[in-house]
Amino acid sequence: MRAGVLVVSALLLSGCVTELLGDEVQTVRNVACAVLAHSPRVEIHVHAATELDMQGPVSAFIAELAPLRDPATVSVVTTPTDLPTDLDAWSMEQMVLERDRAVLHVLVREGTADGPTFEALDPGVFVLDVAALQAGAQATGRDLMDVTRIVFLHAMGHELGVVNAGIPLNGTDLSGREGPMHHEPAPTSVMHVGWHAAISMPKSNSTYAGYSAAVHDDWAAAVAGGICA
């Protein structure tokens, strides 16, 4: 056992860990690059511990990937499940980066109205809280499915490195991107930090059609000549 540890340690020190583990190194950057370009297929697994219509939100996300990925290569699997008693352990059990696919996992649970709308766990794995989404719909006067779509896009933005977590800004101009941890400060953006909780959701009349041009530019740059090339 100790010999195995020494071998891994030597590889880490020599910079060969990527060759040793390949796509199994589950970081935000690797997950983002796999989803945006590297993996032949992307699967979105919805683990439903409570009821929430995810068809519209997931379809909206797939459409947002279309400039970089053929929507036909993205599929969705919805599975009813019991709520895990240990979220951290459950998250660690989920396979995200595999040799021929990237699998994004979202657990839909009841949650609480005054809690967060979503919780990022390990890279590629997050939770949506239905009670907080319902409270947000009531606070903003929006349809629940509209709020769910916006928060789902926001959470996926975190998973794909938008919020200072693996995908660097395209260029050095920070104008319009100076919000907390590179959240977008405009209340019309799906990446506005307010979508983290019902109480802080923007009251804008915007349609929140999708990610901003800046986000799409970052992803395109990462794929074309940046960290994912």
**Tens digit of pLDDT for each residue in 145-181?**
999 999 999 999 999 988 865 565 544 454 544 445 6
Residue 83 lies in a domain: yes
| The model scores a pTM over 0.95 | no
Output the CA–CA distances (angstroms, integers) from residue 32 to 65, 158, 165, in the order listed. 11, 9, 10
Q: pLDDT value at position 9?
A: 37
Nearest CA to 188 out of 145, 140, 116 is that of 140
Residue 85 lies in a domain: yes
207: left (phi over 0), alpha (psi -120 to 50) or beta: alpha
Residue 3 lies in a domain: no
Residue 90 is part of a domain; what is its CATH number? 3.40.390
Residues spanned by the domain of 171: 16-224
Alpha helices in 66-121 (DSSP H): 87-93
Confidence of residue 28 (pLDDT cuts 50, 70, 90): confident
Domain count, the chain: 1
Confidence of residue 222 (pLDDT cuts 50, 70, 90): confident
Confidence of residue 221 (pLDDT cuts 50, 70, 90): confident
